[in-house]
Structure 1
């Protein structure tokens, strides 16, 4: 937004002169002082027109531009003074090292502001908000019915199962847990800019985004160590290193696939996980067996090379790892429905049963202690009961 085309400099202080200006997309600019300009764009529909400020940012070597609005509540002869004051204030902010932030007026604006440093939120908003009529609703006009209508469209939208560009796309009904995750990120974005509305009223926008209860069913499919060994024996040679790592470390498959050779320090047995669902990089200490596997996979590779590589040199993804895992599940006679995430669940289950603190497990696996407690807390209680039983005479 910093690039501004040159335009004829005019005097915007007089109402009559502004009314005579040509109606065009590029604002008519008036120089207030060095590096500070005030612009005006006449309305093509007979409205009061829009005022714009631009200030030169020396650090970035370009102008920062921001719309100031129309000052329609003021008399015509008072608008210039108000716009001039705001433009000068913005210039002072930029000169002091600050950044002019875009005006947040609509739901779409709120989502963009919230997701500036949140890639996952950006992706969800791109799929479900920015192309939806909800994005254009003004925040001061937002009502519960707008969000209820959006929620209905979201729940009716099929979830894409196969993203193979060449084959036929496969879809399924959107799961309640997926709906909850999409609503949660929108709820967080709106909560940054809107106060909660009065309960049971149209202003209670938050009520339309309540989570579906009991949507996150507990993952109950568990493969014990013997079953995991059988799975590894049946799996293809190409996929065995990657799946072995999933059996040894409680990482998400996507985070495992994103690892590079430089992420593992064999001197300290520390692994850096930079790309994961929670978006926060972390370092974990890994056991000797897993360390040996990573050493073998990183041998003779550049630091930026994938740690786990397919036969064609490409990284694994959910469309490629699921094929060999599904084949091995069938060949080894494993329970139907076992997936890469089953291995993560099984590894976390073993850690909980071994008595490792839930907070430590949460840090290693890249999730919250609350989620570990919710899904695995009953296993921690079982471990405690077992420990007490061993104290009996």
Structure 2
């Protein structure tokens, strides 16, 4: 049964999520509704297909909080159809960027990882509502102080109890870097040592990135696969075969894998830019097996309940498998990524190629794995014979 957003009761029963609930108004014109996680009115979004670019234009319409519940749909529908008329006659939707939140949404339009960070640490903060021309260093100093004091979620037990730790400097840097980039696209740096110097409040903490040292060799990873839960085994095996971030792997759809050419398109990743990689035979066979009897839009790696994996669901089977296999207790999903990248570096694969496959920069590969590349080169030289 098609969703009817005009019904107040039907909207109120919708569960809060990042992806809006869409209703088709006419060919190429959709109206979306995103319920509020905090019990607010929710927000409305228009999505219009642009024949000239072959892509959809998306614009937030607001919450229409001043209207009665049964009138919101009519107002949102009218706005969406007006925008559709504009696009269909060759116009372009211009997003008005006035506040800090506007700047973040503009930056995160094609960067899903950035949007997730903004949802967690920016949109709900007082700084989000500040007009960009009135943004001062003190506003961001206050925001940063709250961020640094906010504990990081480590894991959640089966009974729902959350476990936290002090936020690491490297984590603070990552959160600030995305925020800083979003503001820098819209707002010029202020004069140094003044309240206008908003950028000074978001300077990175020096020497915050620790060296990644925990490495699981191939034998340890194979042992882990024997003990991990059956429904998690394909997901963990893929982590052992491919140097991908766990979140990027969990976000893959069946349509992202082309089994005839063994190519994989990775779209949902930290940098938000899709990339296409060629898979080796063993990894290609694993992914091909995951596509059997699934729709193109289904998760490539699926839990036993039919839902995709996420950081809260993969932690338990990996932690249990690590314990059962007698591996170091601090091994996590990211340990497999680090171990796979380590193997690629020591095998002599060019750092640029490794960076492209793993979705990071050559600078980061050199920073964390450069010494391994040097060791591999020394070993290769020592094996030369005259």
Structure 2 partner of 1:200: 193
Residue 323 (structure 2) pairs with residue 330 (structure 1): yes
Structure 2 partner of 1:252: 245
Structure 1 partner of 2:11: none
Call closer, same or farther: CA 1:60–1:193 in 2, change over 3 Å.
same
Structure 1 partner of 2:227: 234
Residue 147 (structure 2) pairs with residue 157 (structure 1): no
CA-to-aligned-CA distance 1:138-196 (integer Å, 9 cap, x gap): 33333322221221111112223346797233332222122112211221122123222
Quote the Cα distance in structure 1 between the aligned partners of 2:187 and 2:145: 22
> Of residues 342, 358, 368 in structure 2, which corresponds to 1:365?
358
Call closer, same or farther: CA 1:103–1:250 in 2, change over 3 Å.
closer
Structure 2 partner of 1:352: 345
> Of residues 58, 62, 72 in structure 1, which corresponds to 2:82?
62
> Of residues 318, 325, 334 in structure 2, which corresponds to 1:341?
334
Quote the Cα distance in structure 2 between the aligned partners of 1:212 and 1:133: 23
Asked if the contact 1:274–1:281 (Cα under 8 Å) also holds between the matched residues in 2, the reply is yes
* Count of paired positions: 308
In the superposition, the TM-score normalised over structure 1's length comes to: 0.71
> Of residues 213, 216, 223 in structure 2, which corresponds to 1:223?
216
3-state SS in 2 of match to 1:62: helix
Asked if the contact 2:140–2:202 (Cα under 8 Å) also holds between the matched residues in 1, the reply is yes
Residue 121 (structure 2) pairs with residue 101 (structure 1): no
Asked if the contact 2:227–2:324 (Cα under 8 Å) also holds between the matched residues in 1, the reply is yes
Alignment map for 1:1-393 (pairs within 5 Å): 61-62=81-82, 97-104=91-98, 106-162=99-155, 167-393=160-386
User: Structure 1 stretch 374-383 or stretch 189-198: which is displaced more?
Assistant: 189-198
Call closer, same or farther: CA 1:381–1:263 in 2, change over 3 Å.
same
* Structure 1 residue 310, shift from structure 2 partner: 2.3
Asked if the contact 2:112–2:270 (Cα under 8 Å) also holds between the matched residues in 1, the reply is no
Q: Over aligned residue pairs, what C-alpha RMSD do you find?
A: 2.7
Quote the Cα distance in structure 2 between the aligned partners of 1:357 and 1:200: 43
Asked if the contact 2:228–2:318 (Cα under 8 Å) also holds between the matched residues in 1, the reply is yes
* Structure 1 residue 341, shift from structure 2 partner: 0.9
Larger radius of gyration: 1
Asked if the contact 1:159–1:171 (Cα under 8 Å) also holds between the matched residues in 2, the reply is yes
* Structure 1 residue 246, shift from structure 2 partner: 1.1
Call closer, same or farther: CA 1:238–1:132 in 2, change over 3 Å.
closer
Call closer, same or farther: CA 1:227–1:193 in 2, change over 3 Å.
same
Quote the Cα distance in structure 2 between the aligned partners of 1:266 and 1:390: 39
Call closer, same or farther: CA 1:119–1:235 in 2, change over 3 Å.
closer
Asked if the contact 2:153–2:165 (Cα under 8 Å) also holds between the matched residues in 1, the reply is yes
Higher RCO structure, 1 or 2 (CA under 8 Å, sep 6+): 2
CA-to-aligned-CA distance 1:53-96 (integer Å, 9 cap, x gap): xxxxxx974169xxxxxxxxxxxxxxxxxxxxxxxxxx9x9976
CA-to-aligned-CA distance 1:241-262 (integer Å, 9 cap, x gap): 2211111111112222222333
Asked if the contact 2:113–2:269 (Cα under 8 Å) also holds between the matched residues in 1, the reply is no
Gaps of 5+ in 1: 1-58, 65-90
Quote the Cα distance in structure 1 between the aligned partners of 2:384 and 2:140: 56
* Structure 1 residue 286, shift from structure 2 partner: 0.9
Asked if the contact 2:108–2:115 (Cα under 8 Å) also holds between the matched residues in 1, the reply is yes
Quote the Cα distance in structure 1 between the aligned partners of 2:119 and 2:374: 42
Asked if the contact 1:94–1:100 (Cα under 8 Å) also holds between the matched residues in 2, the reply is no
Call closer, same or farther: CA 1:333–1:161 in 2, change over 3 Å.
closer
* Structure 1 residue 302, shift from structure 2 partner: 2.9
